[in-house]
Amino acid sequence: MILRPSRYGKFYGCERFPDCDAAHGAHEDGRPLGVPANHETKQARIRAHAAFDTLWKSGLMGRNAAYRWMQSTLGMTPDEAHIGRFDIATCDRLILAVSNFTSEQQDVEDDVLEG
């Protein structure tokens, strides 16, 4: 992959474009955003983000609190707790943890309504 400019900022694109359309985001200084991944890992990261984002988009917790929850739940440092760095297994762990957490929250809400 080579660093390329775009109207949205810098990104890494496949050297063989247009035969290969793989891309990876970059910071303005050219550092990659996260760790480049193959197609399967990229799809797992997309699923993990979709699950994780429900924590703060639903109002269950604020965004910073959601990242602290992820760090604590997965036993990670703040530097490690970035989905763009995750492998497939870590994505799956996060998805399961979010599912368990939201199920527990629903159980609490059900108990309150029944109580």
CB atoms within 10 A of CB 26: 20
Long-range contacts of 85-92 (CB under 8 A, 24+ apart): 85/34, 85/35, 86/41, 86/44, 86/45, 86/48, 87/41, 87/44, 88/40, 88/41, 88/44, 90/48, 91/41, 91/44, 91/45, 91/47, 91/48, 92/44, 92/48
At position 101, the amino acid (one-letter code) is: F
Strand pairing partners for 12? Answer: 3, 24
d(CA 1, CA 70): 30
* pLDDT reading at 114 higher than 80: no
Query: pTM of the predicted model, to two decimals?
Result: 0.76
| pLDDT tens per residue across span 62-97 | 999 999 999 999 999 998 999 999 999 999 999 999
Tell me the three state secondary structure of residue 12.
strand
